């Protein structure tokens, strides 16, 4: 690499001699720098440069910058070689080309983009449509309409049943009637004349729970239980709190087990699905 110092060889030699002899002349480094500026009419080198030049002069006999090692620039390797490689093997990946040419991946990519104006691309395979495809697709759709390929569900493979009850007594009647079945009970605040529950969390959770009922196990029953109005529910002595230990709504539970979701948990589809489908 060429010498890039702003100081000439003469300036560096004079500075080195003065700096080295300062011990004999009792001059400080600052005084040496002032003498340098007075003689050459330019800013003096820093103390670190003076020390470096002195060390270099006595070790190598020269004050010139030594050659620096390092990877050659991409242009030294030849842009033409890269262009030839691309034209000969256009489908070769950048990583393979980089290894073959001995050029770093980033340098190769930058050269191809900035110097050769090339852009990387990934081939995309698409279906080609012809003029006859429109009629062929209509014919195929017409044939499909006459196929009865969807098997009907038997009684054993149907999803579970759904029941709605109002209040504790109706709930207990359904539980006793279906004692041999797997029961899932969803507790919600009762609905008014407009069909909306007085409980905001229940309103938010209901569509989530309803959407997951498609995963209801065969032979099981889902009971939608309205617990009553707000004053009744807030009463700490109501049957739901005392007998069933249901203290929050909405609550979705697997009856007879400890599995249950409460409040905001009922708004998470994955949790509802897990409760309905996992066996314990």
Say how many residues make up the chain: 280
Among 204, 219, 197, which Cα is nearest to 272's?
Answer: 204
Question: How big is the CA angle at 270 (ends 269 and 271), to the nearest 5 degrees?
Answer: 90
Whether 196 contacts 190, CB under 8 Å: no
Annotated catalytic residue within 127, 141, 202, 225 = 202
Known catalytic residue at 127: no
Q: 88, 59 in Cβ contact below 8 A?
A: no
Sheet of strand 183-188, all strands in order from the earlier edge strand to the far edge: 161-166, 221-226, 183-188, 251-254, 260-262
Nearest to 184 by CA among 245, 225, 239, 242: 225
Active site residue 199: yes
The active-site residue out of 199, 225, 266, 267 is 199
CA dist., res. 153 & res. 198, Å (int)? 38
Say if residues 228 and 167 touch (Cβ distance below 8 Å): yes
**CA 205 – CA 261 distance, rounded (Å):** 11
* Token pair recorded at residue 114: 């900035």
Q: How far apart are CA 6 and CA 227, in angstroms?
A: 90
> Rg of the Cα trace of the chain?
43
CB 194, CB 200: distance < 8 Å: no
Residues annotated as catalytic are 199, 202
């Amino acid at each position: 690499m060429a010498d890039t110092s702003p100081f000439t060889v003469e300036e560096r030699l004079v500075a080195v001699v003065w700096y080295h002899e300062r011990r004999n002349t009792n001059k400080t480094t600052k005084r040496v720098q002032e003498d340098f500026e007075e003689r050459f009419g330019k800013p003096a080198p820093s103390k670190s440069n003076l020390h470096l030049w002195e060390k270099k002069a006595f070790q190598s006999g020269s004050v010139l910058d030594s050659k620096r090692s390092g990877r050659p620039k991409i242009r030294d390797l030849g842009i033409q070689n890269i262009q030839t490689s691309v034209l000969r093997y256009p489908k070769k990946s950048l990583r393979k080309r980089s290894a073959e040419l001995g050029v770093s991946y980033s340098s190769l990519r930058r050269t191809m983009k900035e110097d050769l104006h090339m852009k990387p691309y990934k081939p995309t395979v698409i279906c080609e449509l012809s003029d006859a495809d429109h009629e062929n697709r209509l014919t195929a759709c017409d044939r499909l309409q006459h196929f009865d390929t969807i098997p009907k569900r038997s009684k054993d493979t149907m999803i579970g049943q759904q029941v709605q009850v109002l209040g504790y007594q109706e709930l207990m009647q359904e539980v006793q009637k279906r004692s041999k079945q797997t029961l899932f009970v969803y507790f919600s605040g009762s609905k008014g004349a407009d069909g909306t529950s007085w409980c905001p969390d229940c309103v938010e959770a209901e569509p989530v729970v309803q959407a997951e009922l498609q995963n209801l196990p065969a032979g099981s029953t889902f009971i939608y239980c309205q617990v009553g109005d707000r004053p009744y529910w807030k009463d700490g002595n109501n049957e739901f709190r005392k007998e069933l230990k249901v203290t929050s709504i909405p609550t979705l539970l697997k009856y007879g087990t400890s599995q249950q979701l409460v409040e905001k948990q009922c708004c998470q589809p994955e949790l509802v699905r897990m409760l309905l489908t996992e066996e314990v």
